[in-house]
Structure 1
Amino acid sequence: MSFVAKTKSPAEWKLIMNVVSTIVEEPSFEANAEGIQFRGMDPSHVAMIDLNWPNASFEKYECDKEFKLTLRIEELSKLIKRAKQNNSISISAEDDEYLIVKLENGRKREFQIRLIESSQSPQQVPKLALDSKIVIDKGVFEDTLNDVGAVADHITIETNNDEIKFIGNGDAGKAEITLNKSDEGVSEISSKVESKATYSLQYLLSILKAIGTTAETISIEYSNKMPFKIEFRLGEVGGYINFYLAPRIDDR
């Protein structure tokens, strides 16, 4: 068999399904000897995901040629959701027609998903030199966004060396939340220069909801009127998912 990727549990697969489905309906995953990769952008070109899942993360991984696996994310997600927490999951392919999904824990279940033609052009990961970085508990960050979301649709973020402010202005009113380095749940606030930019709350809250409880801590980077980057781990052996969000165009 040309390509096989097996994990002991469905946790990582479920995370990937949740995250990728926030921006695309028909993703193209690339599999090679090094592992599985995905790069995709939403139709409005506002959000992008860069995913790398190295071969060392799997219980079993074999790939003797490069595969481009394009599918309807909803169809694969339905099968992954059928897996119990103690099920192993094996994803395999021999050609460009079907993806084979096996769920095992004593009882063996096997499914096939028809692969489709890719409609997306290859995406390049942006090369960004971002000035501000925050390492924060995912729950603290999500609570902060929800606080701002109570009055606004967009969030303005301001950072200096000592603190970070999250500001929202809307018809309902205004919100301002300030976090310092010493606050619980904040591991790092660093900034080469004072930074300020505005982003869509809808996109940020969607990706945090997709992450769920998988990541306890996330790394955030941004600069003045530059894309916002969220990074979190995928598995325990060097895997990662990076989420990029373009700033609001009329940010002042």
Structure 2
Amino acid sequence: MFTATIDAKAFRNVLESVGVLVEECRVHIDSDGMRFRAADPALVALVDLTLDAEHFEHYEARETVLGVNIERLTEILSVAESGDSIQMELDISSHKLTVEVGTLSYTLGLLDPDSIRDEPDLPDLEPPATVTLKGYHIDRGVKAAEMVSNHLRLAVDEDEETFAIEAEGDTDDVAVELGREEVTSLAPGSADSLYSLEYLTAINRVIPNDEPVTLELGEEFLAGLEFEVPEAKQSVSYRIAPRMQYA
């Protein structure tokens, strides 16, 4: 059993936060809420988001796992207008999800969860450095890096207490450097890692410019990135594997 009602814009923002990395996802549902956790096909980046039951207008569920085409469900919600709610109901016998938005009723065929890649387990990580900053700083750094390279460096200078987004191209270099006075908070430590720009560009599309984003960083470290999904009042977190640097 699964029936739920939630603000359509908030739910679409949730789906888009997941959909920047994957088209399909195993969604774990129980009485506490819905959990989206998936890795991209190359196993470089992971998204993890739990939408608590308290954020729904109505929510009833028993424990189950759904195979959801995130891209298709997001498209359905594109017809929603401001203030609309989405109603969802699972038909277990047909393995389909009925989705109602305003006057639209759509029956979405679900995927076999076993056909979707298992979400990987994450080790307990203790980041050497953390920085919290407004999303527009990341947007500026990512867009600048796109002009010169396919990857970028995220680094913290422990002595100078600065955070930097850098990219080196064949002929040109760019850098965005921020001190304590330009970020919300900074816990300096040893951090300097290179990441594929492809994944940061994708995630950057859903980062709110004026809201805080927290980064967990280290040396050749599985970087963490977390922020609150607009309208949903729930945080989404990502992990991005570093590119190994060889001397």
5 Å matches for 1:39-118? 39-63=37-61, 65-95=62-92, 97-104=95-102, 108-118=103-113
Match of 1:33 in 2: 31
Aligned residues: 242
SS of the equivalent of 2:65 reads strand
Task: Report how far residue 110 of structure 1 moved.
Answer: 1.5
**Using the alignment, how far apart are the partners of 1:151 and 1:237 within structure 2?**
35
CA 1:83 to 1:125, structure 2 compared with 1: closer, same or farther past 3 Å? farther
Answering whether residue 209 of structure 2 is matched by residue 205 of structure 1, we say no
Instruction: Give structure 2 stretches of 5+ with no counterpart.
Output: none
Question: CA offsets, 1:187-239, max 9 Å, x none?
Answer: 01112x321111112211211103456x7221111111111111112478873
Aligned-residue CA RMSD (Å): 2.0
Instruction: Give structure 1 stretches of 5+ with no counterpart.
Output: none
Length-normalised TM-score, structure 2: 0.90
Greater mean deviation of Cα atoms: 230-239 or 25-34: 230-239
**Using the alignment, how far apart are the partners of 1:181 and 1:151 within structure 2?**
27
Task: Report how far residue 53 of structure 1 moved.
Answer: 0.7
Question: CA offsets, 1:114-165, max 9 Å, x none?
Answer: 1111222243233211111111111121112212222121111221342112
SS of the equivalent of 2:42 reads coil
Does structure 2 conserve the Cα–Cα contact (< 8 Å) formed by 1:30 and 1:68? yes
**Using the alignment, how far apart are the partners of 1:72 and 1:125 within structure 2?**
24
CA 1:90 to 1:208, structure 2 compared with 1: closer, same or farther past 3 Å? same
Question: CA offsets, 1:6-40, max 9 Å, x none?
Answer: 11x32222222222222222211111001000111
Match of 2:132 in 1: 135
Answering whether residue 167 of structure 2 is matched by residue 168 of structure 1, we say yes
Does structure 1 conserve the Cα–Cα contact (< 8 Å) formed by 2:27 and 2:67? yes
Does structure 2 conserve the Cα–Cα contact (< 8 Å) formed by 1:219 and 1:230? yes
**Using the alignment, how far apart are the partners of 1:48 and 1:139 within structure 2?**
22
Identity in percent = 22
Does structure 1 conserve the Cα–Cα contact (< 8 Å) formed by 2:28 and 2:34? yes
Moved over 4 A (4+): 235-238
SS of the equivalent of 1:247 reads coil
Length-normalised TM-score, structure 1: 0.89
Does structure 1 conserve the Cα–Cα contact (< 8 Å) formed by 2:39 and 2:119? no
